[in-house]
Structure 1
Amino acid sequence: MKILFLSWGILPQKTGGLEKATYYYFKYLDNKNNTVYLFIPNLTKDVYNFWSNKLVNSKIFGLNIDTFKSYIDYFRYESFTLYKKNLVDYRSAVNEYKNRLIDFLKNNKLDFDIIYAYDWLTTPAAIELKKIYKKPLIIHFHSLAYDRVGANPDLLKYLYDYDYGIEIEGCRNADYVITVSKREKEILEKYYFCNGNKINVIYNAPDEDFKLKEKIRSKINDKYKIVLFLGRITLHKGPDYLLRAAKKVLEKNKNVLFIFAGTGEMLDQLIKLAAELKISKNVIFTGWIDDELAEYLYSISDIFVLPSISEPFGLTPFEALQYKDYIILSKQAGVAEVLKSALKIDFWDVDKLANYILALLEYRVLGDYELKLCLDDIKNISWEDSVNVLLSIFDKVININRS
């Protein structure tokens, strides 16, 4: 099978979970004797060097979009001034991606059986290519505008009308749609008017080298128990709800440190909120972090919290489990469908979140039992299995298109 794969990045590029998903799907599609042509905004040196001599039949192409370079630098170097400068013009980037890809395919004859596209960023290009080449289209949504506005549909047309419109068009034009959770499938049906019969749920998975790792004893652990939030400091991740829960925890236990690792448009707001709540001495905001620091933070933490208002899936709980962190998830996170044994709260229920944190810190037996059950929950899921499900959908769509 020959697959035209459109994504906004791949490991070792990393701004979120999309690059990791691209990595695993691309790798296993190639390993299973398919020819995959992956198009990303830029084929940076780190990507080129990493993938050299690793591919059997496939190839990665960069479209030389300068916006993507500044996007990476934006997250890496502008930690505390993020979003104060308009470094990324997404509309221009999306259109440039589409136009450059169409021009490339006109000048370089690539034979392909199916178009496989990720998220709204590549959807306009995918729709146009379907029209030009009459090939079936699969769109794999890893996040939606609905999530980015914190599950408030009234805000869609005001804040993300461009993305939202593209996602609706993607649903209309795709032969099949893939989502990463049942929650996202329901959102597409309710708010995007997408035909549920053509939506398939394929869960993300833990890293293929998943294994338990030892905790690191830091001097800070001698004084504090540590609660970790790691992700974008943005509306739909719900970090402000964890901060309000932190206030309630600290009223009963002063020896708890809350670490917020990451950056985003809410960072300044959260710093001010911590001051208003008079808990700044027990809260650390790290700004942007690299993988090495992320692993260190997981290893010294006791509890990991994902308090998202609306989370398509969420890979960070899998990473936290490797370091034996106890897990608390919002019920509004897709990963909760896989980690059935994790402690769960509604994102807005800061009282229950605070009580769960206090209980896990006081009763280690409870945490150890939860950890064991969560590890059992993920024993039988893998990226390779997810790719096998995807391939069966590809076969079905291609056969229908040929008939």
Structure 2
Amino acid sequence: MKVLMFGWEFPPHISGGLGTACYGLTKGMAEIEDIDVTFVVPKAFGDEDQSRIKLIGANNIPVSRTTFTFDEGGKTMEYLEVDSPILPYVTEDEFWTLKSKRYTGQTKFVETDENSKIEFSGGYGPDLLKEIRNYALVARLIAEDNSCDIIHAHDWLTYPAGIAASQSTGKPLVIHVHATDFDRSGGDVNPRVYAIEREGMEAADKIIAVSNLTRKMVIEKYGIPPEKVVTVYNAVESVNNEKGSLPPKGVKDKVVTFLGRITMQKGPGYFVEAANLVLKKMRNARFVMAGSGDMMNEMIARTAALGIADKFHFTGFLKGNDVNDLFSMTDVFVMPSVSEPFGIVPLEAMQLNVPVIISNQSGVSEILKHAIKIDFWDTYAMADAIYGVLNYSSLAQHFKSAGKTEVDELKWTHSAREVRKVYESTLQEF
């Protein structure tokens, strides 16, 4: 079975859980003999791990030329733009020259470099919606050049690309919902993002949700029939114990860690308030907020206002082995997410023998037994849990050992086999 998969980021160039989940799932699928995955991203940097999958960067595809591979003998033939719906231009003069001519309503004008390739940032910049649109334009060409049985698109950024690829090839579309704008915005939904999400869900033949929490959101907030939505839980990649570049701990205090985007969705404010409660009972504790986001300055100001800034450390965004360094110093990890479709970071912490406290409003709480679960808004319960783990060694040791045993069983190969079942049912119904 050939799968054409569209993502937005791929290690080592990731900014959150989406890229990590895509990488883990594709590696898991590589273990299944009859699955062949071609993974597409807007921008390929050239240093991605392609040992198990074929990776295509949309930034490397000329939009005025494409290649077809014929089954007979595997011969290839290149041709230049014949009735192409995409017209590339390099300069403003070229744009107006093309614009002055008569074309069908389906024709799209797109700015390219001198090699007729579209430039993508590979990130989440101010031109994000434009890049999503351009990604969809190139996705059509990629789909026509790469034969597949099914198309799989991850998260809202790639839904237009998945739809374009499906329409151009007639192949079924599966979309993977890692989060919705209701999660990211706390209910203050961006209507343009919501429209893209809903269009993707309605166009998809099958929808994979990363938790029952997310499945319920898709059904209730987007009006999708329940039989169309299937839950497949994420897993965790085996972490290594290689050291990064962080300096040694340097203090004897206990360390409590928050690791993630410092945004409303992740609940950093509740972490700070719980930290303040803990520090009223014990002073030999320090709190680390690792990550970046639009609430970072607000959190720094709040710790100062509470008079606990001397007990707080803001590291900025960490990646790779620096995360290992931080967890090696951590006595308890806290994920107080307001709305977390899944949440892979607690699994990574548990692999490294760190007890975890997670919110009941996270998808991962549906599958973990050896984690302390609290409501994100209950800062007193959060503070009690932190205090208990820091001060009762037998409690901490139980969650370390039982947690690691539990999380070691959460393999991406299992998730991949569940996704394969979704593919099979989709193809049977198509």
The two structures share one fold, judged by TM-score above 0.5: yes
TM-score tier after normalising by the smaller chain length: 0.7 to 0.9
- 5 Å-filtered alignment, 1:26-41, equals 26-31=26-31, 32-41=33-42
- 5 Å-filtered alignment, 1:187-202, equals 187-202=217-232
2:96 maps to none
- Please give the root-mean-square deviation of Cα atoms over the aligned residues, in Å: 2.1
1:96 maps to 134
Distance 1:366 1:28, change over 3 A: closer
2:57 maps to 62
Q: Which amino acid aligns with 1:139?
A: I
Kept in 2, the 8 Å contact 1:240–1:270? The answer is: yes
In structure 2, C-alpha distance between the alignment counterparts of 1:141 and 1:111, rounded to whole Å = 24
1:141 maps to 177
1:183 aligns with 2:219: no
In structure 2, C-alpha distance between the alignment counterparts of 1:192 and 1:130, rounded to whole Å = 21
Aligned to 1:44, the other structure's residue is in SS state: coil
Aligned to 1:304, the other structure's residue is in SS state: strand
1:228 aligns with 2:257: yes
Q: Which amino acid aligns with 1:37?
A: T
In structure 2, C-alpha distance between the alignment counterparts of 1:339 and 1:267, rounded to whole Å = 29
Distance 1:66 1:267, change over 3 A: farther
1:364 aligns with 2:417: no
Sequence identity percentage:
34
1:113 maps to 149
Distance 1:383 1:254, change over 3 A: same
Aligned to 1:399, the other structure's residue is in SS state: helix
- 5 Å-filtered alignment, 1:228-267, equals 228-267=257-296
In structure 1, C-alpha distance between the alignment counterparts of 2:348 and 2:251, rounded to whole Å = 20
In structure 2, C-alpha distance between the alignment counterparts of 1:273 and 1:219, rounded to whole Å = 24
In structure 2, C-alpha distance between the alignment counterparts of 1:368 and 1:212, rounded to whole Å = 23
Q: What's the CA shift for 1:175?
A: 1.0
Q: Which amino acid aligns with 2:397?
A: D
2:203 maps to 173
1:269 aligns with 2:264: no
Q: What's the CA shift for 1:303?
A: 0.7
Deviates more, 1:224-233 or 1:88-97: 88-97
Aligned to 2:151, the other structure's residue is in SS state: strand
Kept in 1, the 8 Å contact 2:28–2:414? The answer is: no
2:161 maps to 125
Q: What's the CA shift for 1:40?
A: 0.4
In structure 2, C-alpha distance between the alignment counterparts of 1:115 and 1:70, rounded to whole Å = 22
2:47 maps to 46
Aligned to 1:314, the other structure's residue is in SS state: coil
Kept in 2, the 8 Å contact 1:39–1:63? The answer is: yes
Q: What's the CA shift for 1:293?
A: 1.8
- What TM-score do the two structures reach when normalised by structure 1? 0.86
Q: What's the CA shift for 1:209?
A: 5.4
Q: Which amino acid aligns with 1:118?
A: H
1:80 maps to none
Q: What's the CA shift for 1:329?
A: 0.4
Aligned to 2:43, the other structure's residue is in SS state: coil
Q: What's the CA shift for 1:219?
A: 5.0
- 5 Å-filtered alignment, 1:210-359, equals 218-222=248-252, 224-359=253-388
Deviation digits for residues 40-81 of structure 1 (CA, Å, limit 9, x no counterpart): 01111211xx32xx23xx52110116443465xxxxxxxxxx
1:387 maps to 416
Deviation digits for residues 154-208 of structure 1 (CA, Å, limit 9, x no counterpart): x11xxx2222111111221111110111111111111111111111111111214
In structure 2, C-alpha distance between the alignment counterparts of 1:199 and 1:211, rounded to whole Å = 37
Q: What's the CA shift for 1:218?
A: 4.5
Kept in 2, the 8 Å contact 1:229–1:304? The answer is: yes
Kept in 1, the 8 Å contact 2:338–2:361? The answer is: yes
- What TM-score do the two structures reach when normalised by structure 2? 0.81
Who wins on radius of gyration, i.e. which is larger?
2
The count of aligned residue pairs is 369
In structure 2, C-alpha distance between the alignment counterparts of 1:105 and 1:379, rounded to whole Å = 37
In structure 2, C-alpha distance between the alignment counterparts of 1:349 and 1:380, rounded to whole Å = 30
Instruction: Please point out which of 194, 202, 207 is paired with 1:164.
Output: 194
> Which has a greater percent of helix?
1
Q: Which amino acid aligns with 1:173?
A: A
Aligned to 1:259, the other structure's residue is in SS state: strand
2:75 maps to none
2:19 maps to 19
Q: What's the CA shift for 1:21?
A: 1.7
Q: What's the CA shift for 1:37?
A: 2.0
Which ranges in structure 1 are unaligned for 5 or more consecutive residues? 72-86
Q: Which amino acid aligns with 1:161?
A: P
Q: Which amino acid aligns with 1:341?
A: H
In structure 2, C-alpha distance between the alignment counterparts of 1:295 and 1:375, rounded to whole Å = 15
Deviates more, 1:120-129 or 1:345-354: 120-129
Deviation digits for residues 286-321 of structure 1 (CA, Å, limit 9, x no counterpart): 112232221111000101000000001111111111
1:84 maps to none
2:108 maps to none
Aligned to 1:68, the other structure's residue is in SS state: coil
Deviation digits for residues 313-364 of structure 1 (CA, Å, limit 9, x no counterpart): 1111111112221110011111111212311111000111111111111111
In structure 2, C-alpha distance between the alignment counterparts of 1:115 and 1:140, rounded to whole Å = 11
Distance 1:192 1:219, change over 3 A: closer
Distance 1:289 1:142, change over 3 A: same
Q: What's the CA shift for 1:115?
A: 0.8
In structure 1, C-alpha distance between the alignment counterparts of 2:181 and 2:369, rounded to whole Å = 26
Kept in 2, the 8 Å contact 1:260–1:285? The answer is: yes
Aligned to 1:45, the other structure's residue is in SS state: coil
